[in-house]
Structure 1
């Protein structure tokens, strides 16, 4: 393949431009593989991308900002063929044999340094797939039976020792089998919990937004002037 050589003098520095027969233009590279192939650093005030979320035909790369650099202005290439996960991950986690007290600490082994994990949705069931599950107040049979179980369970992801952990417990309540409406089973101890988890690769995060602490002073917040979180 023939290659034409051009030399451009700019501000007393030398820049070599190569134009291949394919029509590709290379700067500091004699074998340009794209319409414009720059081997070196570039500096510009504006950069417009056509279809930035689509993979290229030559490498399947995605452009994403990195939260590892100090300035937050550089771009990194993400290659799904060599990366350990996609930028966005939707995971279904099914836990069986769960006791009626729930889950105190389950280590998902998901790296908390490189991923952000949140619970998108969840459901409860019996071992046979039935969904007749409810909450009951913890107490002796016949004592405080008029009390309803906590309607707001503590179900969340949290960081511990570098990985994401999962918790699903209930305040003063336990899960019960309600397949028999007249006599629910308070001894059933084999539940199935299903969690739908969104896992985001931190490569796409612009920055870590600082914690926000607002004192409402005893008011309901409707009349307060709340500052907008930084970065939005």
Structure 2
């Protein structure tokens, strides 16, 4: 019992001495912040005056969401804040990809197609487009329709060209059915660490003008 009291007194004196310099250290004689705890802490409640801002020393980033505190720790999280992914899909038909489920959680990540390329499965780039799938050179091609979209809680990929079909440039009249294409997709997945609020979609009618004199209301939260 006497030993426990002695340890408690020494710990209290150490905190008192450090407090004179404006910093308090627990299990450390050289506190770096106003309160520096070298070990685990337990509390029933925690009040933060200005949550959601980087720490002054740049050690961590604190984020708040719905009045709760989150501390990003790379050793505990399953992925980083920014993830660069390459997705290669082979055996693609001439019509391209209509709907591919990446299984990436749409509630936890924002997925963006950063870049893409179409080629043959053997790695060659002898790929052309047949506009209208009519077998003739129309001197036209459909617009690229390569994007990510959310469906049933996950991110999906679409990679094709509107009104056009992929064909292999192997002869003057390539075969009309060809399924040996590869699509390389370079994706950026951003982790949703900070969530302030859901922002509703904005729709505005330009009324047939070029939009130079129109403006939309600023979304809440910006």
Q: Is the structural similarity TM-score above 0.5?
A: yes
d(CA) in 1 for partners of 2:92 and 2:116?
14
Structure 2: 5+ residue runs without aligned partners? 1-6, 17-23
1:4 paired to 2:9: no
Q: Please report the RMSD computed on the Cα atoms of aligned residues, expressed in angstroms.
A: 3.3
d(CA) in 2 for partners of 1:21 and 1:107?
51
- Which residue number in structure 2 is paired with residue 64 of structure 1? 63
SS of structure 2 residue aligned to 1:3: helix
Alignment CA distance shift 1:187-1:172 (3 Å) = same
State how many pairs are aligned: 203
Structure 1: 5+ residue runs without aligned partners? 8-16, 56-61
The structure with more helix, counted as a fraction of residues: 2
The structure with more strand, counted as a fraction of residues: 1
d(CA) in 1 for partners of 2:57 and 2:28?
26
- TM-score scaled by length of structure 1: 0.72
1:216 paired to 2:210: no
- Which residue number in structure 2 is paired with residue 168 of structure 1? 159
- TM-score scaled by length of structure 2: 0.75
List aligned pairs for 1:14-163, cutoff 5 A: 20=27, 22-24=29-31, 32-33=37-38, 41-44=46-49, 49-52=55-58, 54=59, 62-66=61-65, 69=66, 74-141=68-135, 145-146=137-138, 148-150=140-142, 152-163=143-154
d(CA) in 2 for partners of 1:175 and 1:139?
9
Give 1:51 shift: 5.0
